[in-house]
Amino acid sequence: MHRTLFTLALLLFTGFASAAEKPNVLFLIADDLNNYLGCYGDEKAKTPNIDALAARGVRFEKAYCSFPLCGPSRNSMLTGLYPNSTGILTNSLIFRQTIPSHISLPQAFRLDGYFAGRIGKLYHYNVPNSIGTNGHDDPGSWEMEINPAGVDRLDEGPIFTLTPGQYGGTLSWYASPKSDEFHTDAMMAKDAEWVLERCAKEKDRPFFLAVGFYRPHTPYVSPEVPYFGYYPPETMRPYQKVTDNPEDIPVAALGSYKKEQDQLNDELHRQCAQAYYASISFMDAQVGRVVRALDRLGLAENTIIV
């Protein structure tokens, strides 16, 4: 069976006698995923693959983000240092600019003889503009980098957005008529299968494979069939304006409220919530595809999933 650590964790393995005894590591991460998962009690969420990982692994009930911004948070996670130690407090920096000699998590695996590969977003990316590129990545962390781009990046015209011409930093969504294989996250799952097939042939060398899915980050784009169909808009919670109940909202959260969200009405809110849930289910399906590849290739017994 898989040895699984569910949610974000940092692992470093030392003191193993031989390559054959070193466990492989499959590191999976989603972008802007809240706890809207079945394994966290969300009755709407259809996330069977992540739920299955949680059921047979470790599920954390208290998790704290080191910084409320993507770039500093991801650099913190991948260096093992707080943002005040990395010196990164904005999205535009990578830790090599502030602490260039520091060893990152994947780099530590490389130095221990592992093959370290990245597919998609691990360090900060400007989503969706940086999809298909290295973004603010650290080349020294990886031996292989794969950056596919699907219709969610290449065909943005039909996407509904609260801010015309913007898709990443504002609420935006689209029920795409294109099936899974045309979307970036599904392309990444296919690429992960290819990398795992390669790793299965090189059994004398362990691997650290990181797969960073873009969904459910905005724009909430995923195939209409079947994912949007899982969540009829009328089943979504009715819209409640932020100003309706400000005493329930922390001051810091009110500070992040964006003026364009005043455009939301009940209908748009339900559509947006539907698209967010659909993006989660689409991402979950790709997680399942990658995990099943471990079983198919005989890698599961010696692979830790994070």
pLDDT in tens, 209-249: 999 999 999 999 999 999 999 999 999 998 877 766 677 77
Read out DSSP for 23-55?
PEEEEEE-SS--S-SGGGT-SS---HHHHHHHH
**Residue 116 clears pLDDT 50, i.e. is over it:** yes
Residues with catalytic annotation?
A: 70, 124
Beta strands per DSSP E along 135-216 = 144-146, 160-161, 172-176, 207-212
Percent of residues, the chain, with pLDDT higher than 70: 92
Q: Tell me which residue range forms the domain holding 109.
A: 3-7+21-91+98-305
Residues contacting 103, CB < 8 A, separation 6+: 111
- Are 144 and 198 contacting, i.e. CB atoms less than 8 angstroms apart? no
Q: How many domains are there within the chain?
A: 1
State how far the Cα of 173 lies from the Cα of 156, in Å rounded to an integer: 10
**CATH number for position 218:** 3.40.720.10
CA distances from 88 to 17, 84, 137 (A): 37, 7, 14
Q: What's the pLDDT tens digit per position in 142-157?
A: 999 999 999 999 999 9
290: in domain:
yes
Task: Taking residues 283-291, report their average pLDDT.
Answer: 99
- Are 265 and 171 contacting, i.e. CB atoms less than 8 angstroms apart? no
16: in domain:
no
* Residue 262 confidence (pLDDT): 87
Read off the DSSP letter of residue 57: S
AA identity, residue 65: C
pLDDT band at 6 (very low <50, low <70, confident <90, very high): very low
- Are 272 and 220 contacting, i.e. CB atoms less than 8 angstroms apart? yes
Higher pLDDT, 45 or 257: 45
φ, ψ dihedrals at 84, nearest 5°: -70, -15
Give the burial class of 174: count Cβ atoms within 10 A of its Cβ; 0-12 exposed, 13-18 middle, 19 or more buried. buried
pLDDT band at 13 (very low <50, low <70, confident <90, very high): very low
Higher pLDDT, 241 or 95: 95
14: in domain:
no
Q: What's the pLDDT tens digit per position in 176-189?
A: 999 999 999 999 99
Tell the residue number behind the tokens 């299955």, with chain if given.
52
pLDDT band at 299 (very low <50, low <70, confident <90, very high): very high
| Mean pLDDT, rounded, of the chain | 92
15: in domain:
no
* Residue 12 confidence (pLDDT): 38
pTM for the model stands at 0.91
* Residue 245 confidence (pLDDT): 67
80: in domain:
yes
Of 14-18, 101-105, 123-127, least confident by mean pLDDT is 14-18
167: in domain:
yes
* Residue 20 confidence (pLDDT): 56
CA distances from 165 to 103, 155, 160, 161, 224 (A): 38, 13, 10, 8, 22
Give the burial class of 131: count Cβ atoms within 10 A of its Cβ; 0-12 exposed, 13-18 middle, 19 or more buried. buried
Tell the residue number behind the tokens 């010196």, with chain if given.
87
pLDDT band at 5 (very low <50, low <70, confident <90, very high): very low
Task: Taking residues 128-144, report their average pLDDT.
Answer: 96
- Are 51 and 39 contacting, i.e. CB atoms less than 8 angstroms apart? yes
Tell the residue number behind the tokens 């949610």, with chain if given.
7
pLDDT band at 21 (very low <50, low <70, confident <90, very high): confident
State how far the Cα of 79 lies from the Cα of 82, in Å rounded to an integer: 8
* Residue 256 confidence (pLDDT): 76
12: in domain:
no
φ, ψ dihedrals at 245, nearest 5°: -150, 55
117: in domain:
yes
Residues constituting the chain: 306
